[in-house]
Amino acid sequence: MDAATDDASVRARPGVGRQRRCRAVGGAFSFGSGLSCGCSPGAPVSLRCVGQAIENEGPHDPRLEDASPSVALEPLRQALARYEASRSPAAFDGAFAAAAAAVAAVRGDRAGEGADAVEVRELMSELPEFDRLVSIAVGEAERAAHAGACRLWEWFGLSSVPPGWNEAERSGARVIVASACAPLQGRGASWLRPRLLRLAADRWAAQLTGELRTGGEDPWRRALGERYESVRVRYAPRTKLRSGKLSQLLARDQRPMAALHKRLSRWLAEGGQFETLPDEVEAAFVETRTPERLA
């Protein structure tokens, strides 16, 4: 079976095509997976590259560990110039390595310790080159996060403008990325990823919940997939002849939406994998609409 035939057969089977697409777009919220531009040679720097650069720290030069701030800043200036000329992931790695060394030189004996938010802001103010690198990294992270939101909104068929980071979230991202360079050895993508994902998760969940509340029945069909009919029959308002719609239920009972808001917030913070989305949506109805005698 060739690729075209295979894709056609997948689309013909209810739910299967959507599951395949979910795996492709769900990674947009995962720091380092599923992004359209990775870290292959010649590719643009992406959110994935931000994490890998911090984790790898590029070619580390131990001679810079004990260098004075003025000496340690020169390699950072050169590394930034190389990155801005090439926009390559390799140059990005090198810039992060040079930034960690410059920060270590300023911090002296505390170079191996973690820095708090107040100190990293002072470091960005004291080291304009470090501030510039952080701005570049945050810009890439923000673009990747917004691209993920666009895919999510598109998947639900929503017509509103997909969210991005607001000023407070952007400021928080600057502190997080800068903190990943202090201590000297870096905190790595595993430290950085969940913190960036949590920045806007609750606000985006509130916006998405609001869209679902007023968007009619189609978003619920998309969110629940093959489970939609089962959930509708169990929880939507009923008449003598038929079950109603989930949107009718939510017009008079806000408890499922409050539960869904909490679940979507956690879902986004954990990477927004679409394979688990039907579980979260169904659970919001189960925990708020199941009679106590059956719970």
Q: What's the pLDDT tens digit per position in 42-76?
A: 344 444 555 554 454 444 444 444 555 667 788 88
What is the number of alpha carbons within 13 Å of residue 130 lying toward its C-beta?
A: 30
Out of 35-39, 113-117, 224-228, which region has the weakest mean confidence (pLDDT)?
35-39
Is the pLDDT reported for residue 119 higher than 90?
yes
Please name the residue that has the structure tokens 């509340």.
213
Q: Kindly report the pTM of this predicted structure.
A: 0.74
Out of 14-23, 146-155, 162-171, which region has the weakest mean confidence (pLDDT)?
14-23
Q: What average pLDDT score do residues 68-94 get?
A: 84
Q: Contact, 111 vs 137, CB < 8 A?
A: no
Q: Is 28 exposed, middle or buried (0-12, 13-18, 19+ CB in 10 A)?
A: buried
- Choice between 279 and 9, residue whose per-residue pLDDT is larger: 279
Is the pLDDT reported for residue 158 higher than 90?
no
Structure token digits, residue 189: 């993508």
CA dist., res. 17 & res. 37, Å (int): 23
Is the pLDDT reported for residue 221 higher than 70?
yes
What's the per-residue H, E or C state across the chain? CCHHHHHHHHHHCCCHHHHHHHHHHHHHHCCCCCCCCCCCCCCCCCHHHHHHHHHHCCCCCHHHCCCCHHHHHHHHHHHHHHHHHHCCHHHHHHHHHHHHHHHHHHHHHHCCCCCCHHHHHHHHHHCHHHHHHHHHHHHHHHHHHHHHHHHHHHHHCCCCCCCCCCHHHHHHHHHHHHHCCCCCCCCHHHHHHHHHHHCCHHHHHHHHHHHHHHCCCHHHHHHHHHHHHHHHHHHCCECCCCECCHHHHHCCCCHHHHHHHHHHHHHHHCCCCHHHHHHHHHHHHHHHHCCCCCC
Is the pLDDT reported for residue 135 higher than 80?
yes
- Over the range 92-128, which residues count as b (16 or more CB within 10 Å of their CB) and which as e? bbbbbbbbbbbbbbbbeeebeeebeeebbbebbeebe
CA dist., res. 230 & res. 214, Å (int): 21
User: What are the residues whose beta carbons fall under 8 Å from the beta carbon of 138, sequence distance 6 or more?
Assistant: 170, 173, 174, 177
Domain ranges across the chain: 17-199, 205-289
Q: Contact, 103 vs 9, CB < 8 A?
A: no
- What's the mean per-residue pLDDT of the chain? 76
